[in-house]
Structure formats: C-alpha cells, structure tokens
Amino acid sequence: MSSYCASRFRTLRRRADEVYVGPVGVGGNHPIRVQSMTTSNTQDVAATVKQAIALAEVGCEMVRITAPNVAAARCLQDIRTQFTAAGFGEVPLVADIHFLPSAAMEAVEHVEKIRVNPGNYADKKKFAVQEYTDAAYEAELARLHDAFSPLVKRCRELGRAMRIGTNHGSLSDRIMNRYGDTPLGMVESALEFLRIAESHDYRAIILSMKASNPKVMIEAYRLLVQRMAEEAMHYPLHLGVTEAGDGEDGRIKSAIGIGSLLADGLGDTIRVSLTEDAVYEIPVAQAIARKAMARWGEDDAIAADHFPIDPPDALDPFHFKRRVIADQGFAPGAEIGPEQPPRVITRVRDLADLPTAAKALASSTLQDTPPEGVLVRVNQVEDLNRLINAAPAWPAAFLVVEVDAGLNPDDVAPLLMAATSPVMVLRTFAADHADDLPAWLALVQGGAPAALAIAASPARWGELAAQLATRDASRVLATLDDADRQDGHAIGAYRRLAAHLQAHGLQVPLWIRNTTATALAGDNSFLSRLLEASILSGALLCDGLGDLISIETEADPVRAVKLCYNVLQGAGARISKTEFVACPSCGRTLFDLQTTTQRIRAKTGHLKGVKIAIMGCIVNGPGEMADADFGYVGGAPGKINLYVGKTCVQYNIPQKNADDRLIELIREHGKWTDPQPASAG
Ligand code: SF4
C-alpha cells in the first residue's frame, strides 16, 4: 500500500472527516462538491448577487467571493441576504481573504466559510530575502498564532468552516526561506495554520494545495495527505489547478491535476478555474466529479488489501522522475528514447480512409505538431497488400500496423521489406498466444526498420515481461490491450504494466492508448472524451510514465493529433506552443481577462516554449504566476505592469500600449520569432 492513498491501482476513496459548510456536507460520505467564484467587484452588490445566482442555477454548490478589504467584507452581509431572498439560502457563500485579518473578521460574520491563504494571511512581506534563525522562525510562528487565533475562535463560535488554501506561487518568506518553493513548503505552510487551529480545538477545516503546474500540485496534495496521516489528521481536500487558462488548454490542465488525484481517491470538493465566464467552469467540474464518483463504485467499501498487487508499484509518487527507457532507434526523425519527448500516434479508422487522412494530416495546421505515427488496422493479407501499394501516402515518420490475431509474422514480413518508412507492428498477445512472441520479435529485429508494440491485459503482462526478460527486448514497446475494460481504472492498469516491466528490469517504452476501453462507458461527448484522455494520460505522464501517446477515441485523426499535443503540453511533457498562465479573475481584476488573454494569445501563440502569465492584479498575480518567463499584470485601473520572471521591469504602462511593450520585452530577451505566414494548405 502506498503512503498517500489506499491503492494506486483502484479508486478507493480516502476517508476524510465530515465538514459542514452551512448545510452542505464535505468529505465523509458526501459526494464531491463543485464550487466556483464570482468575478465582479464585491462592492457592486447587485452584480455579485447576479453572478452568484447564475452560478447556483447551473449547479455550483458553494460560491466564493473575494473580500479584499473590510468594506468589501461588509458587503457580504447584503449579498448573503439578497442571495437567500432569491431562493438560494441553502447555497453557502465563501469569503476569499488575502492579507487582511480585519477583512476576515468582518466576513466571518456574514458567510458560511472563510478561505485564508497561509502564504499571505497577516503577512505583507513579499520576496524579502531573510535568513531565519530557529529563534526568529519561532517568533514568526508566535506572531502568526496571535494574528490567526481571533479568526479561528470566531469561526468556532459561529459554526463557520474554513479553508486553509495554500498556493504554490504565494508562499510566505518564512516558508520560502526554510523549505523553498517546493511541495514540502506548501504542505508545511498549511500545517502551521492547522496546528494553530487545532490548539483552539477547531476542526471545521478543508485544505488545498493549488499550483498552476499540475505536477507540483499533484505532489503537494500527495505529500499533504501523507503528512496528515502521520499526524492522524483526516481533513477533507479542496482540489484545483490555479491559472489553468481558457478553452481546451484550461480544461485539460484542470482535468490532469484534479482528475488524477480523484482517481487516487483524494479530493472532496473541486474548482475548475478557467479564464472564462465562471458558469462555464461548472459543467467541466461536474463531469470530472461524476467520472471520479462512478469509479468509487463498490470498491470504496472494500479494504485495500482485498486487491493484492503483484508486483508492487515501484514509483516514487512524491518526486517526479521520468521512467528510464532504452533508445529505440528504428525511426530516424521520430526516435523513441530517453532524450526524446513522448511521440504522437494517430489512428485512421479505416484503411480505405488513408489517402484522405494522409492529405489532412499533412496540412499546414499540423506544421508544429505533426503526427509521428499513423495507426491502421489490418485484418487480412489483402489489407497488407493494399498498404504496400499505398506506401507513398503514409503521412507520418512511421506507420503503426495493428495486426489481427489471425495474421502471422510471415504475412507481415513483405510489408516490412517494401516499406519506405519504418513500421511498428502492434499485436495483442492473449493467453493462447504465449508461444508466438519469439517469431514476432525475430520479425522486427531482422534488419528492416521496424518495432513490435506488444499489447496485453495487465494480468498477462507478468508472464510476457518474464518471457521478454530472457530475450533481446530491443525494438519493443509495451501497451495495453484495447479490448480489455481494465477494471474501470486504466491509470492503475498502466501503472501495473510499468511495475511488471520494472520488476524484470525492462527499459521498454510505454505507449499510452486512450481508447473506448480506457474511458467510462455512457457519455461520448467531446468534453467527456477530452477529460478522459487528459486524466489518464496526464496522471501517467505526471507519474513519469509514457513515451508514446494516442487518443483513439477521436474519429478525426487531425483532431486527435491536436488533442495529444495539448495533453502533452498540459502535463508539461512536450511543449509545442506558447504556455499561457492566466488567472481566472475575481473582484480584484483590473481588466477584462478573457479578451486580453485571447488578444495576447493571438499575438504570441506561435512562441514555442515561452511561458506568459496574464494576471488580473498585483496583489496576488506576481506570486501566482510561478515560473512564467514574462508577466502581464494589472497594476492599477487601465495600467499594466510587465514582468520578466518575478521582477517587475515596467510599471503603469497604459493598457493600450501594453501588448506592444510586452512583445518588445520578449524580443529584447531573445525569445521572439516572427509568426509564419499562413499557407493555403
Ligand atoms: S491574480 Fe487574478 S484571481 Fe488572483 S486575486 Fe488577482 S485578479 Fe483575482
């Protein structure tokens, strides 16, 4: 059993304490609660109530509202009254506090929950370089105890809940000094506040560890749960990825971070942060929550040791490290190896569609994101002959041929001989194919540029890995059989496959296939397919697993390629375009984040590998843009501050000039390239 969840191979829900936020139960046996945040100025009571109603009407179960100062916190009284009068008395409101205990003390009188950020509560210092002796550190904690205790006591008196919400980008100087900008620092930051709360016997607490980088966020939550378990703490978790952005990218990043933790049984309430109208967050969050809860199933009630896993998971879940693989030199230009990014394979559903698909896949829209392998299925020898004749139309660096179980290596050999591009043979090894492996290995290791992708169920992989370990395993890749439902937990199935490889010392690349077998049955909408692919692939990539990826649930092979690259980008596994970090906006926001993000994306979206943050305010923006290369941050109404890394280099630029100044800045730092003219292809 791993130390942060009951099983990494099944979704066994973590048993969290039950915390009530007003009438809404979180943790315990309650469903995953979905929440969001208003973006209006809190002191515009009518606008805030209108947004809260809009959110509640689409299913938001808790509505968070920023309270940046005492005046705004006072407005929460009228907002609560009017929201209740509109028929939403059962929907709790949450006050979002940064910096000001006075605002928190006012807000707690009016709303059901207070969110504090332990990185900045009662803490105004930012980026101060200080050395803390043990005595100075203790003195800081004593100051914090005095500043935080009144809020804790008032929450207890009034029966309010609290979220201690750590953000990766806004840790206190004290924590940064001692632990650095790390998941451990995030966890310690929350634990400092938790201990103060517990010293007053107050336990109506929910915790979060958000970051814009899903890997950091996943590691921080895992570590938090492990640390809490050591201290016999079982507080519920609020999950979220900060500054995820908008559109497909925002949905993918959120699904990777939130979805992979939920698949491990962690998480009791979630927020999907999108730089879009907040009501659009709710269906995405609901879909992610539904998928997780469907996986809880009956397993939730069964003890983890009911599922003995052999061999055990060999990964360190607290420190990202890509699994070690050997070079597979069979495809020049699209090599598969430890120094190469995960390769993208796209499926063409029917051999007859290959010429049309080839044309579409060669289109200019895929110039920077080409498919590296094209997958087609062959059922009979005639299909192989058709492929030989279609050779010049293969639209990728290598062809992947999924061969029917009725075909043998001699049938496939002529294709390998005739091929002008390398060929990867994908073959499923069922229980009655135990003796076939040597002949298929001989086929691909015989001289032609070829490789063998072995597909099998996780249970079969134990025997196959043992067989492979006694042979030459070069030019071999491993994946799962797409006919197997994988017990509703494909992440666990791939982890199990990786564990079998590891147990036999096999450095064989792993191909993540997103298929109908890896998705939950029932919902076949594009959003559902996108979330399934993001959760499975993202969870594995953030574990360090995955050297090839295909999303075979898409009928359109071009769409599938784009989705693969977007998932790889979201998981930080392969950067193919500009990375945008955009805050979701709130009552502090100083410009229209949606249109600004879209405008800046249109001008800079071709800058491969450059990370640009677009943040609504200087209060939290600079801290939360984490590791961005450049920052565009609201400094004052109509004014923008520009950042290089964490350093503000231009203050109060009129907004109408800020885009050009940002581009100049990118140019000055050698990261600008002119966009390619659009071609007619
Ligand atoms: S960075 Fe954005 S979401 Fe965060 S407080 Fe500022 S405006 Fe609000």
Q: How much distance in Å is there from the Cα of 124 to the middle of ligand 1?
A: 16
**Which residue did the predictor score with more confidence, 439 or 518?**
439
pLDDT band at 593 (very low <50, low <70, confident <90, very high): confident
The neighbour count for residue 438, using CB atoms within 10 Å, is 11
List the residue whose alpha carbon is closest to atom 5 of ligand 1. Answer: 620
Q: How much distance in Å is there from the Cα of 624 to the middle of ligand 1?
A: 9
Residues 571-586: pLDDT tens digits? 999 988 888 888 878 8
Judge whether residue 265 has pLDDT over 50: yes
pLDDT of 302: 45
Find the mean pLDDT for residues 5-18.
90
What is the rounded distance in angstroms from the CA atom of residue 166 to the CA atom of residue 188? 10
Find the mean pLDDT for residues 391-395.
65
pLDDT of 391: 61
pLDDT mean across residues, the chain: 90
Kindly state if the Cβ of 641 falls inside 6 Å of ligand 1. no
Kindly state if the Cβ of 617 falls inside 6 Å of ligand 1. yes
Is 349 exposed, middle or buried, given 0-12, 13-18 or 19+ CB atoms closer than 10 A?
middle
pLDDT of 396: 84
Residues forming a β-bridge with 439: none
pLDDT of 299: 52
Kindly state if the Cβ of 97 falls inside 6 Å of ligand 1. no
Is the CB of residue 373 less than 8 Å from the CB of residue 345? yes
**Which residue did the predictor score with more confidence, 11 or 425?**
425
**Closest alpha carbon to 208 in 317, 113, 301, 300:** 113
pLDDT of 131: 74
What is the rounded distance in angstroms from the CA atom of residue 321 to the CA atom of residue 544? 5
Is the CB of residue 434 less than 8 Å from the CB of residue 409? no
pLDDT band at 680 (very low <50, low <70, confident <90, very high): very low
Structure tokens at 634: 């609201």
Residues 123-145: pLDDT tens digits? 765 555 567 888 888 888 999 99
pLDDT band at 301 (very low <50, low <70, confident <90, very high): very low
Task: Identify which of 37, 116, 585, 590 to mutate to test ligand 1's pocket (most ligand atoms within 8 A of the CB).
Answer: 585
Judge whether residue 220 has pLDDT over 60: yes
pLDDT band at 310 (very low <50, low <70, confident <90, very high): low
Q: How much distance in Å is there from the Cα of 146 to the middle of ligand 1?
A: 27
Kindly state if the Cβ of 585 falls inside 6 Å of ligand 1. yes
Residues 88-129: pLDDT tens digits? 999 999 999 988 999 999 999 999 999 999 888 887 655 555
Judge whether residue 641 has pLDDT over 50: yes
Task: Identify which of 38, 42, 243, 619 to mutate to test ligand 1's pocket (most ligand atoms within 8 A of the CB).
Answer: 619
Judge whether residue 486 has pLDDT over 90: no
Kindly state if the Cβ of 214 falls inside 6 Å of ligand 1. no
What is the rounded distance in angstroms from the CA atom of residue 50 to the CA atom of residue 580? 29
pLDDT of 681: 34
Residues 19-32: pLDDT tens digits? 999 999 999 999 99
List the residue whose alpha carbon is closest to atom 4 of ligand 1. Answer: 620
Is the CB of residue 137 less than 8 Å from the CB of residue 178? yes
Residues 62-95: pLDDT tens digits? 999 999 999 999 999 999 999 999 999 999 999 9
For the CA of 584, the closest atom of ligand 1 is: 3
Judge whether residue 191 has pLDDT over 90: yes
Kindly state if the Cβ of 623 falls inside 6 Å of ligand 1. no
CA atoms within 13 A on the CB side of 181: 12
Kindly state if the Cβ of 619 falls inside 6 Å of ligand 1. yes
pTM: 0.91
pLDDT band at 297 (very low <50, low <70, confident <90, very high): low
Find the mean pLDDT for residues 217-240.
95
Task: Identify which of 40, 100, 620 to mutate to test ligand 1's pocket (most ligand atoms within 8 A of the CB).
Answer: 620
For the CA of 619, the closest atom of ligand 1 is: 6
Find the mean pLDDT for residues 621-632.
84
Q: Any idea what the Cα angle at residue 459 is, between residues 457 and 463, rounded to 5°?
A: 100
Q: How much distance in Å is there from the Cα of 590 to the middle of ligand 1?
A: 9
Q: Side chain identity at 404, as an amino acid letter?
A: D
Kindly state if the Cβ of 618 falls inside 6 Å of ligand 1. no
Task: Identify which of 96, 580, 588, 596 to mutate to test ligand 1's pocket (most ligand atoms within 8 A of the CB).
Answer: 588
Listing DSSP states for 419-476 in one string gives -SS-EEEEEE--GGGTTTHHHHHHHHTSSSSEEEEEEE-HHHHHHHHHHHHTS--TTE
pLDDT of 128: 58
Report CA torsion sign: 322, 323, 326, 328: negative
DSSP annotation of 62: E
First to last CA, the chain: 53
pLDDT of 609: 84
Q: How much distance in Å is there from the Cα of 211 to the middle of ligand 1?
A: 14
pLDDT of 500: 94
Q: How much distance in Å is there from the Cα of 494 to the middle of ligand 1?
A: 38
Q: How much distance in Å is there from the Cα of 49 to the middle of ligand 1?
A: 19
pLDDT band at 305 (very low <50, low <70, confident <90, very high): very low
Is 153 exposed, middle or buried, given 0-12, 13-18 or 19+ CB atoms closer than 10 A?
middle
Cβ neighbours for 437, distance < 8 A, ≥ 6 positions apart: 429, 454, 464, 467, 468, 471
Query: pLDDT > 90: what percent of the chain?
Result: 66
Q: Quick one: which H or E segment has residue 633? A: strand 630-636
Kindly state if the Cβ of 620 falls inside 6 Å of ligand 1. yes
Q: Which residue has the tokens 């943040």?
A: 615
Q: How much distance in Å is there from the Cα of 612 to the middle of ligand 1?
A: 16
